[in-house]
């Protein structure tokens, strides 16, 4: 294990220990897919509390972890998805949402994720303090730790050559619905490699290298085997290529292949 991974493990365990002993909720920085996998892979006997993760919206890739002492956890939810969402709302995760809009639409450039991220990092803000950056036309939303919200609003006035205005919005006002392309096709089984081949129009053989290269995650957990059986609702993320959700099985063909639907996010 790399030294950075060992330090992260130690930090996460310490946050859980603090939550337990002080009977408070503690929070990590924003964790990327690899870091989330390290968290999910920690043996339960090394953690003092349970935890949930949240990044501001359902498909958030970068998420904070909240370590919750039992008294507070049991008061809020069980392990069902709906109740977990209620618990996430009650945890008051310490981040805010900023909308970024061009000062003058007429002169606004087509800005990319890299443009926004570069402009923010150039202000000296660490990547771990930032969650996802989602782009919706000429508007963008940025999730950032609450302590840096005012600083970013005051200091970020331009992205590339475009003057911008930042406003704090609530999660409810963050009107963003991820766009997706619905794909239907037949697969021999709902194994991970079969669905990857359908989603990215490639052969299972070529995509096996992605799994071996530690680039494929299912619901934030690193996948190390291509034979994983994907379940309805699972979100599969491939670093550098994108992500999709497995919707489910429609029918079987006469040759016993499975007709499935996936939503590939664009």
pLDDT in tens, 171-227: 888 767 778 999 999 999 999 999 999 999 887 777 778 888 889 999 888 998 888
208 vs 229: CA distance, rounded Å: 15
- Give the per-residue pLDDT at 174: 78
pLDDT in tens, 79-97: 545 555 556 666 789 999 9
User: Residue 134 forms beta bridges with which residues?
Assistant: 141
SS3 91: coil
- Model confidence at 67, pLDDT cuts 50, 70, 90, reads very high
What's the mean pLDDT when you consider all of the chain?
89
57 vs 161: CA distance, rounded Å: 30
Nearest to 46 by CA among 34, 54, 38, 35: 38
What long-range pairs does 255-259 form, CB within 8 A, spacing at least 24? Answer: 257/186, 257/187, 257/188, 258/186, 258/187, 258/188, 258/189, 258/190, 259/184, 259/185, 259/186
Distance (Å) of CA 181 to CA 96, 117, 140, 171: 29, 26, 21, 25
Is the CATH code 3.40.50.300 the one for domain 180-265?
A: no
pTM, rounded to two decimals: 0.82
Question: 23 phi and psi, to 5 degrees?
Answer: 55, 45
Domain ranges of the chain: 3-90, 95-169, 180-265
Contact 231, 196 (CB under 8 A): no
Neighbours of 197 (CB within 10 A): 20
pLDDT in tens, 140-181: 999 999 999 999 999 999 999 999 999 999 988 876 777 899
Contact 106, 100 (CB under 8 A): no
Q: What is the CATH number of domain 95-169?
A: 3.30.70.330
Nearest to 194 by CA among 204, 185, 202: 204
């Amino acid at each position: 294990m790399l030294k950075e991974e060992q330090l992260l493990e130690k930090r996460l365990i310490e946050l859980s220990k603090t939550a337990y002993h002080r009977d408070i909720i503690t929070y990590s920085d924003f964790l990327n897919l690899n870091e989330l996998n390290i968290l999910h892979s920690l043996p339960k006997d090394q953690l003092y509390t349970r935890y949930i993760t949240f990044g501001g919206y359902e498909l958030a890739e970068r998420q904070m972890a909240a370590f919750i002492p039992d008294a507070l956890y049991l008061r809020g939810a069980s392990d069902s998805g709906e109740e977990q969402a209620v618990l996430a709302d009650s945890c008051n995760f310490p981040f805010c949402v900023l909308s970024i809009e061009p000062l003058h639409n007429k002169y606004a450039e087509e800005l990319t994720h890299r443009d926004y991220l570069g402009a923010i990092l150039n202000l000296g803000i660490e990547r771990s303090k930032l969650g996802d950056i989602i782009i919706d036309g000429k508007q963008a939303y940025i999730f950032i730790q609450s302590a840096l919200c005012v600083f970013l609003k005051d200091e970020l006035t331009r992205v590339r050559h475009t003057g911008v205005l930042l406003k704090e919005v609530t999660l409810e006002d963050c009107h963003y619905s991820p766009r997706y392309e619905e794909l239907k096709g037949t697969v021999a089984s709902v194994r991970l490699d079969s669905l990857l081949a359908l989603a990215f129009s490639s052969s299972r053989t070529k995509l096996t290298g992605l799994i071996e290269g530690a680039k494929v995650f299912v619901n934030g957990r690193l996948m190390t085997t291509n034979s994983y059986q994907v379940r309805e609702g699972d979100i599969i993320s491939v670093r550098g290529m994108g992500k999709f959700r497995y919707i489910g099985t429609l029918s079987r063909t006469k040759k016993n292949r499975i007709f499935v639907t996936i939503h590939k996010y664009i």
